[in-house]
Structure 1
């Protein structure tokens, strides 16, 4: 079993805003990070990290040993493929020798491992990683980190929320504007909105909610999520927000009549960090979604407006069976027991 990466339950193609520079456009938004405290993703040192580190360190040592031989590649082959060699690893199974040889050849050629296989002989005593459980633990860990970051942000700005007050934070995906409800105290509401909308805090909180969704979330649908990614990625590449554009002859067009999809494909394809294949993939993926949105109208598909509750220093999920808020995660222990994870 190789150690996989975890993926969103909604399939989508993403354009990274860090790898593609935003082009000038009427909706281009400048965000300051000076007041940003909330981080949507907080790295946890997991069992997967520990195992990959263990393998990296082991094969780095093996590579150093192999390099001490005049022909490192022949030495690796001797160890794992030649039973007559004094270096042959008799104590390994055939599968373990195959994995070890593959890893040592990879390290010799690339200076790093390409895959991390749980069948490796150095992991004989390790319990298997359950990626479902690891993913849920990651989400709970991130929730606690974000809770702490929100407390830090509120304390920094001298905002005090009385105990027992249950608030709801609702975020618009088009501008990441956060609205507060659940209190009749207008001063508190105004203070909270001012602080939470500073920097990138509301945007980071929005993506934290996305990262905390459960399969049965009532806030998410495939259409809403596809629309959100389409709008976000076109704005990242072109600077234009689809909501601000007109629809003419079934196409979103800019003020000078240019087809936004043509601008998107051209800008994407001309970027030095993307290939022609990437551009073709983006066009094939987003073209039909954009055409459908233009035919139906921008508002025909609801926006991915997300909400989360906040009470006594913790965020609590809305509209889903799984909750990652403080005191609501006992189900993770039950899941571990159900799946036989110690």
Structure 2
């Protein structure tokens, strides 16, 4: 066990973190994963205020003949009488993204923790001012880096326990299916080593937890995707599949479109079943409309949110983004550098 001496790094990590605390949903035999912070009462309050605000604004935007043009006039066109000059640039930016995203998703609001949002200005206990540099965000860069060091050490421990050593020349890639969370390993190690690593990382929910960690690290402080592997089309397809599967127990990819609905291989009308079992009407409306789009275009494999993350002797490293959290990628975080051996687990 190695003691970390980077006090500046650890002084900025949320207190009370249990380094052995796996995600709450992890199954038995899981040894790899990181439980990000749960919601505090303040988080829930902020989320509630912003949810109510953007729900109201969404309806207002829809009242205009061209909602997107109206949104752009508020936040992008300085010559427009609608321009929100009283907001800071950061506040206009996040409002624009949130309102645009809601328009694209039929009213679904998915952000909700930026405490510099102008909508929070009257709540002095949580409002941090108009700059994103001081606005509270969840899953901060420092926590992502901390999570990376924990996951690295967990993988290192797992491999070491099973007699697997990673050479300095090794360069592997973990590819994880977004539906089954099955992980495959490729790279310059011998076939037996690749197979052993693959078997170990597919135990329990190890692969799912690595996928989740990689996914979180692909977003910036405003929850925007910053990795070339992902986009909103892939994200929507991923969320649709899981929503349908968790609601009905059926794999949407195997359904056949017929007479305005989707028929499972056993003859079940999945759209009817989805409506019957959906927890709320709004969710059904959003996902059923999205699902029906596939009746025209089909389920495109190239839009599956398969995530790839690299792995070498220093641990995991990100693929497809400018700012990564790997040991040799994180110098942008002002000297915070954590190798695979620098976190005690």
Please indicate the TM-score interval, normalised by the length of the shorter structure: 0.5 to 0.7
Structure 1: unaligned runs, 5 residues or longer: 1-17, 19-30, 53-114, 270-278, 336-342
Q: Does structure 2 conserve the Cα–Cα contact (< 8 Å) formed by 1:165 and 1:312?
A: yes
User: Could you tell me which of 132, 140, 150 is aligned with 1:135?
Assistant: 140
In structure 2, C-alpha distance between the alignment counterparts of 1:334 and 1:147, rounded to whole Å: 19
Residue 340 of structure 2 is matched in structure 1 by none
Q: Secondary structure at the match of 2:227?
A: coil
Pairs within 5 Å for 1:317-328: 317-328=318-329
Residue 30 of structure 2 is matched in structure 1 by 36
Q: Does structure 2 conserve the Cα–Cα contact (< 8 Å) formed by 1:151 and 1:313?
A: no
Report the CA distance shift for 1:201/1:298 in structure 2 as closer, same or farther (over 3 A): same
Q: Number of residue pairs matched?
A: 227
In structure 2, C-alpha distance between the alignment counterparts of 1:330 and 1:253, rounded to whole Å: 52
Residue 258 of structure 2 is matched in structure 1 by 248
Q: Which shows bigger deviation, 224-233 or 141-150?
A: 141-150
How far the C-alpha of 1:297 sits from its partner, in A, is: 0.8
- Considering only CA atoms, is the larger Rg found in Structure 1 or Structure 2? 1
In structure 2, C-alpha distance between the alignment counterparts of 1:229 and 1:212, rounded to whole Å: 18
Q: RMSD of the TM alignment (CA)?
A: 3.4
In structure 2, C-alpha distance between the alignment counterparts of 1:177 and 1:140, rounded to whole Å: 24
Residue 280 of structure 1 is matched in structure 2 by 281
Residue 113 of structure 2 is matched in structure 1 by none
Q: Does structure 2 conserve the Cα–Cα contact (< 8 Å) formed by 1:38 and 1:204?
A: yes
Q: Secondary structure at the match of 1:298?
A: coil
Q: Does structure 2 conserve the Cα–Cα contact (< 8 Å) formed by 1:227 and 1:301?
A: no
How far the C-alpha of 1:312 sits from its partner, in A, is: 1.1
In structure 1, C-alpha distance between the alignment counterparts of 2:149 and 2:301, rounded to whole Å: 36
In structure 2, C-alpha distance between the alignment counterparts of 1:184 and 1:120, rounded to whole Å: 54
Q: Secondary structure at the match of 2:285?
A: helix
User: Could you tell me which of 262, 281, 288 is aligned with 2:272?
Assistant: 262
TM-score for the superposition, normalised by structure 1: 0.59
In structure 2, C-alpha distance between the alignment counterparts of 1:208 and 1:133, rounded to whole Å: 14
Report the CA distance shift for 1:256/1:166 in structure 2 as closer, same or farther (over 3 A): closer
TM-score for the superposition, normalised by structure 2: 0.58
In structure 1, C-alpha distance between the alignment counterparts of 2:306 and 2:232, rounded to whole Å: 13
Structure 1 segments (4+ residues) deviating >4 Å: none
Structure 2: unaligned runs, 5 residues or longer: 1-23, 43-119, 220-224, 337-345
Report the CA distance shift for 1:41/1:134 in structure 2 as closer, same or farther (over 3 A): closer
In structure 2, C-alpha distance between the alignment counterparts of 1:319 and 1:120, rounded to whole Å: 38
Q: Secondary structure at the match of 1:131?
A: coil
Q: Secondary structure at the match of 2:311?
A: strand
Report the CA distance shift for 1:132/1:329 in structure 2 as closer, same or farther (over 3 A): farther
User: Could you tell me which of 182, 185, 190 is aligned with 2:190?
Assistant: 185
Residue 170 of structure 1 is matched in structure 2 by 175
* Cα deviation 1:60-85 (Å, max 9, x = unaligned): xxxxxxxxxxxxxxxxxxxxxxxxxx
Q: Report 1 or 2 for greater relative contact order, CA contacts < 8 Å, sequence distance ≥ 6.
A: 1
